[in-house]
Amino acid sequence: MAKKFIRRYLPDVHKIRDHRHLRFFGRLLHDPNLWHLNRHSVSDALAIGLFWAFVPMPFQMIPAAACAIFFRANLPLAVALVWITNPLTMPPVFYFCYKLGSLILGTTPQEIAFELNWAWLSTELARIWQPFLIGCAIVATSASVVGYLGIRLLWRWHVVRDWERRKKRRQSLETTDEHR
């Protein structure tokens, strides 16, 4: 079942509740619906996590957790998915977002020499902020919608396949009982 597959990769409930950046949510983290795995909670969590993964801001886990709590989505999954953009994947992902934003705006992409310091942020980012943020918004929204619809379809397909297997198993048992 899909639940078993997803549960295998989710972080521990207590790890999430005790995370230093999420502790301020307090009693809200004790809602049992935040930890359930069902079609709705997983698809909502996927949409939330994928959206916040592509928003260029530090501590993306906090708004992802807040949205998961508000929409009662699976909290561990929503928080874990923001790590799609991590220090290794951020440069290529955000460069793609910048290129996409430039394409949408019809501007020529500029050469960027990325450095993670305040001087670069105040000068270079000031030049490219518009196509960068538009690209991030498009990628975040698209990934969120595709992830939501994709997991809903995948979950449905998985359930129908299991029903068909059970039906065939029952039919084969009935035919063997008739032949006895």
- CA-based torsion, 140, 142, 147, 152: positive or negative: positive
Confidence class of residue 114 from pLDDT cuts 50, 70 and 90? low
Quick one: pLDDT at residue 71? Answer: 94
Torsion region of 172: left, alpha or beta (phi above 0 gives left; psi -120 to 50 gives alpha): alpha
Show me where the domains of the chain are located.
2-85+134-155
Q: What is the pTM of this model?
A: 0.78
Quick one: pLDDT at residue 27? Answer: 73
- Summarize pLDDT for 97-109 with one digit per residue, the tens: 999 999 999 988 8
